[in-house]
Amino acid sequence: MHLGKLVGTSLLVGLVAASGCGENMDSVAGGSVQFTASGEVLALGGYGFPATGDEPAFVDGWEVRFESLLVTFDYINLSENPDKAPTDQSQTDNKVAQLAGPWAVDLHKGGPLLGKGGSDEQALPIATLSALNLQADKPLDPTKRYAFGFDIVPANPAAKKLNLDAEGEANYSQMAKNGWTVMYIGTATWKGTSCTSTNPAYDFSVMPKVVKFRFGFRSPTSYINCQNPDTAPAQPFAGEEYQRGIQVKQNATTTAQATVHTDHPFWENSEHDAPAHFDPFAAWAQKDASGSYVVTLEDLKGVNFTAFKDRAGKSLPWRSCVPTYTPPNTSQTMGFDAPGIPYSPNGDASQVLRDFYDYVTYNQSTQGHLNADGICSIKRNYPSPK
């Protein structure tokens, strides 16, 4: 059990339900906040191809299935005045509560709670902040909104492991050894039909059809003053989708779900909800000792993401296997884009993106949200462009 010491106040908050399985907090007079985590339904079942209904799909014809999605959460916090700066979401007043972990979870395994994204989504309880634990003159004020934030941090052997099995424990040990914050493990299988390409002469048959992936991200990130879809239809600030912050309920429990979007590392540009591709990853897969094709993030180091080539040095064209998808340009060479951020192979990592490894990590670091789709202000705690 940890106690989170508060910044700028004398208030201390205790962790009362680290496993999330505890008591019913509805009887607490001042209300409570239950923090949960979810990778949405896509962390559970992955991305089918072709997609059914309005589910997202990889536009280049890949089915992507997860076997594990490990994340280390820490420093779940509430702060005063989420509306302090209408044009700068990162600004708030002092923290009033913070729960310190860290907590290790496998979002692929889901959890016992209904997630914020609908009937098929699962969420895992992390910790509960109760009014009974507020050592101050008064509990959280149900008439106010508080800024919500959390961190994703490097794996820690001392983390509270909430739903890891024996294999998960072994993978988490690898994460801790390598300083990884998030780990994707899974398999991509190409299932495209009736596909088109910006270079019909390129021979896609040289690309493996089944690729195992093991992506270990070194991307500690703080997610600050998140917008909250639960506040709809309240009017947000210009340029934002939802009002910021959470509000406790009198004599009830408010849920704040840290949501991890799994598609971000695969985007074709750094704009939110860009189309997802797997071809550039498959192009750099190589056989392991068992004969399976495998790709890791380390394979992406030195790869020019603005003009992709395959492992044989041939230019990789755009490929579309979805009738509604059109590549962003007609170039015979596929290239991703991070608007406003220079690409420079030998540049300063805090100012530029040097390769595909940097690009993927940059997009992955934006994957934390509140209550399904609430966008947070991002503070990357590793060398990266802002």
Per residue in 329-365, pLDDT (tens digit) is 999 999 999 999 999 999 999 999 999 999 999 999 9
Predicted TM-score (pTM) of the model is: 0.91
Domain presence at residue 298: yes
Nearest to 306 by CA among 366, 362, 365, 356: 356
Place of tokens 């039909």: 193
Q: Is 107 helix (H, G, I), strand (E, B) or coil?
A: helix
Domain presence at residue 278: yes
Domain presence at residue 385: no
Place of tokens 């990130």: 221
Domain that residue 375 falls in: 3-380
What pLDDT, on a 0 to 100 scale, did the predictor assign at position 75? 95
What pLDDT, on a 0 to 100 scale, did the predictor assign at position 182? 98
Q: What is the DSSP string of 291-308?
A: S-EEEEGGGGTT--TTS-
What pLDDT, on a 0 to 100 scale, did the predictor assign at position 272? 87
Domain presence at residue 266: yes
- The total number of structural domains in the chain stands at 1
Q: Please state, in angstroms and rounded to a whole number, the distance separating the CA atoms of residues 206 and 249.
A: 58
Nearest to 127 by CA among 160, 172, 94: 160
Q: Please state, in angstroms and rounded to a whole number, the distance separating the CA atoms of residues 268 and 288.
A: 27
Domain presence at residue 386: no
Give the HSE-up count for residue 311: Cα atoms under 13 Å, Cβ half-sphere: 17
CB 124 within 8 A of CB 43: no
Give the HSE-up count for residue 213: Cα atoms under 13 Å, Cβ half-sphere: 31
Low-confidence residues of the chain, pLDDT below 70?
1-30, 131-138
What pLDDT, on a 0 to 100 scale, did the predictor assign at position 132? 52
Could you tell me the sign of the dihedral formed by the alpha carbons of 45, 380, 376, 140, in that order?
positive
Domain presence at residue 89: yes
What pLDDT, on a 0 to 100 scale, did the predictor assign at position 52? 82
253-260 and 32-38 strand pairing: parallel
Domain presence at residue 123: yes
Domain presence at residue 121: yes
Q: Please state, in angstroms and rounded to a whole number, the distance separating the CA atoms of residues 292 and 186.
A: 13
Nearest to 78 by CA among 234, 248, 221, 240: 248
What pLDDT, on a 0 to 100 scale, did the predictor assign at position 21? 39
The 10s digit of each residue's pLDDT in 35-70 is 999 999 999 999 999 988 788 999 999 999 999 999
What pLDDT, on a 0 to 100 scale, did the predictor assign at position 162? 96
Residue type, 260: V
What pLDDT, on a 0 to 100 scale, did the predictor assign at position 141? 85
